[in-house]
Amino acid sequence: GFSKKGKTLLRTIKKSSSTSLISKLSNYLRQITSEKNNHVRNRLVRMLDYDILATDIYVLGNRKAEDRVARLDFTHKIEMKED
Mind listing the pLDDT tens digit for each residue in 17-32? 887 777 777 777 777 7
Look up the pTM and report it: 0.59
Structure confidence at residue 45 (pLDDT): 85
Question: Within a 10 A sphere around the Cβ of 22, how many other Cβ atoms?
Answer: 15
Sign of the C-alpha dihedral computed for residues 77, 53, 49 and 70 taken in this order: negative
CB 70 within 8 Å of CB 79: no
Closest CA to 54 of 66, 72, 41, 67: 72
Structure confidence at residue 80 (pLDDT): 54
CA distance 36 to 58: 33
Structure confidence at residue 41 (pLDDT): 81
CA distance 19 to 17: 5
Mind listing the pLDDT tens digit for each residue in 40-74? 888 888 988 898 899 889 889 989 988 888 887 77
Structure confidence at residue 81 (pLDDT): 57
